[in-house]
Amino acid sequence: MNYPKNHWLYFFFVTLILTILFNFNLVKDVAFSNRSTIPINDGVVTEFITEAEYQNVIQERNPFVPTKQILYPFTTDIFNQDPSTTHIIPLFFLRPFFDVHRITITIVLFNIILANLFMYILLRKMDIGWQPAVIASLVFGFSPFLSYRVLGHYTYTVHYFFPLLMLLFIYYFEEKEYRRKLLLSVLWGVSWAFLFYANPYYFIMAVIAVFFFFFYFLVHERKSIVHFFMAHMRNLTISCAVFLVLLSPWLAAYKNYSAIQAPQTSPSIIRSLILSADVLSFVMPSEFNPLYNAIFDRFSGINPYLNNLSRFFEYNWKSFAYPGIIVLWGYFMFFVRYKKASKKTRKAVMPFVLAGLFFALLSLGPLFKIVNRWSITLPEDIPLYFPLPFLMFHFLPFLKDLTAPARFITGFAFFGSILSAFVLQGFFKRLKKTQVTTTFIIIFFIFLLDQMYVVPNRPEKQIPLKAYTYLAKSDEPGTVLEVPFTVRDGLQYIGDVHATPIMRGSIIHNRQIIGGYLSRVDTSIFDYYKGLPFIGHTAAIIDKGNFHLYKEQPQEPNVSPFTVSTEALEDEIDFLDITYILLKQREDYTQLMLQTLTNIGFSKILDDTGYTLYYRPPRKKEFTAVIFGEGNDYLFAGENFGPPEKDFRWAMGKSATVFVKITDPKKTSLSFEIASFHRSQIIDIYVNNNFIGQEKISASRSSYHRTVSKSLKAGINSIQFKFSQSFQPKDILSKSDDQRELAVKFYSLSLNK
Q: What is the pLDDT of residues 716-745, one digit of tens each?
A: 999 999 999 999 999 888 888 888 999 999
Residues 557 and 508 grouped into a single domain? yes
Instruction: Report the pLDDT value the prediction gives residue 336, as an integer from 0 to 100.
Output: 93
Higher model confidence: residue 80 or residue 579?
579
Number of domains in the chain: 3
What average pLDDT does the chain have?
Answer: 92
Interatomic CA distance for residues 70 and 92, integer angstroms: 23
Is the distance from CB of 365 to CB of 374 less than 8 angstroms?
Answer: no
Domain limit, last residue, from 570, 592, 615: 615
SS3 content of the chain, % helix, strand, coil (to 5): 50, 15, 35
386 is a domain residue? no
Instruction: Report the pLDDT value the prediction gives residue 262, as an integer from 0 to 100.
Output: 62
Instruction: Report the pLDDT value the prediction gives residue 268, as an integer from 0 to 100.
Output: 67
Q: Does residue 96 register a pLDDT over 80?
A: yes
Is the distance from CB of 161 to CB of 86 less than 8 angstroms?
Answer: no
Give bridge partners of residue 670 from the DSSP assignment: 706, 751
Domain limit, last residue, from 259, 275, 301: 259
pTM of the model: 0.92
- Count other Cβ atoms within 10 Å, centred on residue 440: 18
**Mean pLDDT for the stretch of residues 577-598:** 97
* Per-residue pLDDT tens over the stretch 298-324: 887 788 888 888 888 888 888 999 999
Instruction: Report the pLDDT value the prediction gives residue 738, as an integer from 0 to 100.
Output: 87
Instruction: Report the pLDDT value the prediction gives residue 667, as an integer from 0 to 100.
Output: 73
Which of the four pLDDT bands, split at 50, 70 and 90, describes residue 651? very high
Q: Which domain holds residue 533?
A: 463-615
Which of the four pLDDT bands, split at 50, 70 and 90, describes residue 709? confident
Residues 610 and 636 grouped into a single domain? no
218 is a domain residue? yes
78 is a domain residue? no
Q: Is 740 helix (H, G, I), strand (E, B) or coil?
A: coil
Interatomic CA distance for residues 416 and 418, integer angstroms: 5
Residues 602 and 638 grouped into a single domain? no
Is the distance from CB of 15 to CB of 140 less than 8 angstroms?
Answer: no
Q: Does residue 448 register a pLDDT over 80?
A: yes
Torsion angle defined by CA atoms of residues 62, 64, 69 and 71, in that order, rounded to the nearest 10 degrees = -150
Residues 467 and 510 grouped into a single domain? yes
Q: Is 402 helix (H, G, I), strand (E, B) or coil?
A: coil
Interatomic CA distance for residues 611 and 614, integer angstroms: 10
Interatomic CA distance for residues 70 and 628, integer angstroms: 26
112 is a domain residue? no
Residues 489 and 610 grouped into a single domain? yes
Domain limit, last residue, from 584, 615, 646: 615
Residues with Cβ within 8 Å of 212's Cβ and at least 6 positions away in sequence, in order, are: 354, 355, 358
Interatomic CA distance for residues 339 and 343, integer angstroms: 9
Q: Domain containing 708 — which CATH number?
A: 2.60.120.260
Residues 594 and 660 grouped into a single domain? no
Q: Does residue 227 register a pLDDT over 80?
A: yes
Residues 611 and 629 grouped into a single domain? no
10 is a domain residue? no
Residues 611 and 632 grouped into a single domain? no
Is the distance from CB of 327 to CB of 416 less than 8 angstroms?
Answer: yes
Q: Which of 77-81, 119-123, 151-155, 395-399 has the weakest average pLDDT?
A: 395-399
Residues 504 and 522 grouped into a single domain? yes
Residues 604 and 580 grouped into a single domain? yes
Interatomic CA distance for residues 52 and 421, integer angstroms: 41
Angle between helices 325-336 and 130-141 (to 10 degrees): 130
- Residue type for 164, please? L
**Mean pLDDT for the stretch of residues 645-665:** 92
Is the distance from CB of 529 to CB of 89 less than 8 angstroms?
Answer: no
681 is a domain residue? yes
| Exposure b/e, 143-153, CB count within 10 A at least 16 = b | bbbbbbbbbbb
Give bridge partners of residue 716 from the DSSP assignment: 661
299 is a domain residue? no
Angle between helices 7-22 and 24-31 (to 10 degrees): 80
Residues 583 and 719 grouped into a single domain? no
657 is a domain residue? yes
Residues 642 and 713 grouped into a single domain? yes
Q: Is 299 helix (H, G, I), strand (E, B) or coil?
A: helix
Interatomic CA distance for residues 496 and 504, integer angstroms: 16
Which of the four pLDDT bands, split at 50, 70 and 90, describes residue 383? confident
Q: Does residue 201 register a pLDDT over 70?
A: yes
